A and B are shown apart, each in its own frame.
Chain A
Amino acid sequence: QLQLQESAPGLVKPSETLSLNCTVSGGSLRSSYYWAWIRQPPGKGLEWIGSIYSSGTTYYNPSLKSRVTIFEDTSKNHFSLKLSSVTAADTAVYFCATLSMPQFWGQGTVVTVSS
């Protein structure tokens, strides 16, 4: 049974870069899973940010593509999200998950963009 845990940066200043890690336990990042970052702004729906396959191929939401990078660190068994030039609109709960079957989700971490 996989377990996913997001890191917790908490507060990020406008124009800075948001960095999050998702640590995977109970399994290997090099398995056939399809890893993803998803976010949910306060009171709003879910938004897919992007995904990375076990092959290393990445896909990003076109609306965020110019600011997003997703990469993996197999030595630490985690994958990461970097979102640059953040604004208040990037305030959300950020989830990491596998979107292949079976699916597993992290509990989510709150990120607030504010000076």
Chain B
Amino acid sequence: QSVLTQPPSASGAPGQRVTISCSGSSSNIGSDTVNWYQQVPGTAPKLLIFKNNQRPSGVPDRFSGSKSGTSASLAISGLQSEDEAEYHCAAWDDSLNGYVFGTGTQVTVL
């Protein structure tokens, strides 16, 4: 039962920019920071962005995150074939007193 809403799919040609949205509420995105994960089928999620817009060491700067109000976005610029994966947003929810994930977005490189 995902609390955060993402579009089911997004796509772009190599080199293009793709943006994924994540819509929440005042009890999660509106009051806490957002993390983004990349998941290749059959593997564990990998943290891509933390605290809305910070990249862990080793994550290319082609990936960027932003937050405004109760929504957040992940942008992938200079799309590459290896970016084809599922992307999940996540945040702490004060009402549920728990960590909530988005519905997930499958990114396809055309």
| A interface residues with partner B (beta carbon < 8 Å) | 36, 38, 45-48, 50-51, 59-63, 95, 97, 99, 101-103, 105-108
Contacts and interface: CB of A to CB of B under 8 A. Distances in A.
Interface in B56-109: 56, 88, 90, 96-104
A97 B90 CA distance: 14
B1 A48 contact: no
A45 B97 contact: no
25 contacts: A38-B101, A45-B101, A45-B103, A46-B37, A46-B90, A46-B104, A47-B101, A48-B98, A48-B100, A48-B101, A50-B98, A51-B98, A51-B99, A59-B97, A60-B98, A61-B98, A62-B96, A62-B97, A95-B45, A97-B44, A101-B50, A103-B47, A107-B43, A107-B44, A108-B44
Contact of B102 (A45, A62, A101, A105): A45
Interface residues of B, number: 21
A66 to B, nearest CB: 14
- Residue in A36, A51, A60, A99 with the greatest tally of chain B CB atoms within 10 Å: A99
A106 B101 contact: no
Interface of B: 1-2, 37, 43-47, 50, 56, 88, 90, 96-104
A102 B45 contact: no
Given A105-B44, A106-B44, A107-B43, A45 B99 contact: no
A99 B99 contact: yes
